[in-house]
Amino acid sequence: MSLPTPAPATPSPGTRELRTALGRFATGVTIVTCRDTPGAPVGLTCNSFNALSLEPPLVLWSLRRASPNLAAFVGAGHFAVNVLAEDQIELSRRFASSAPDRFAEGVWHDGTGGAPLLVGAAAVFECETVSHQDVGDHVLFIGRVLRLADAALPPLVFHGGRYHLLGEIL
Ligand SMILES: Cc1cc2nc3c(=O)[nH]c(=O)nc-3n(C[C@H](O)[C@H](O)[C@H](O)COP(=O)(O)O)c2cc1C
């Protein structure tokens, strides 16, 4: 059996090619939240979330440096990662849009440090921010998981710039 030949590597990929190739890596979809200093809830759709360490329990995600919410996440000290279930696609769209009050939809309650937790999420990680650093055009956040809730619901999937449901296990 012959393996498919990968497209030739380019020495320095353009942003479009990079984005397209990175899109081959299927991810879940999360809404990462915190509470800003005046006390308002803050959140955005995010698929850069990933596991980093089991002992200690660490996770990571990145926020574009131009985000109007950067100061809130840097100052908050805590954040929550809400892993979206397959029926929460509209919330994903909402939290990636310019909707004025993103939290007007969904059922939310306060977690550690006031970070909003989403009822019906597949899993929720409440984290203390242990570091944030500028990396390229994003800021990399690393958090220590203080608490988690695992509803074991089927997740929403993002691949190739589109939403998917999990396929059957072959
Ligand atoms: C599936 C998906 C994943 C995303 N992942 C990220 C991410 O990891 N980091 C990021 O900064 N923006 C990400 N975005 C874009 C933000 O959700 C979008 O730019 C949002 O408007 C940012 O909110 P803000 O402008 O309030 O920061 C993602 C969008 C989608 C649809």
Within a domain: 4: no
Residue 157 Cα, ligand 1 centroid: separation in angstroms?
A: 15
Tell me the pLDDT tens digit for each residue of 44-79: 999 999 999 999 999 999 999 999 999 999 999 999
Q: Is the CB of 91 under 6 A from ligand 1?
A: no
What is the rounded distance in angstroms from the CA atom of residue 124 to the CA atom of residue 145?
10
Find the CATH number of the domain harbouring 137.
2.30.110.10
The pTM of the full predicted model, rounded to 2 decimals, is 0.94
> What is the span of the domain harbouring residue 81?
28-158
Per-residue pLDDT for 1 more than 60? no
Q: Is 69 helix (H, G, I), strand (E, B) or coil?
A: coil
User: In whole angstroms, what separates CA 112 from the centre of its chain?
Assistant: 18
Predicted local confidence at residue 38, as pLDDT: 96
Residue 12 Cα, ligand 1 centroid: separation in angstroms?
A: 25
Within a domain: 101: yes
Per-residue pLDDT for 130 more than 70? yes
Residue 32 Cα, ligand 1 centroid: separation in angstroms?
A: 10
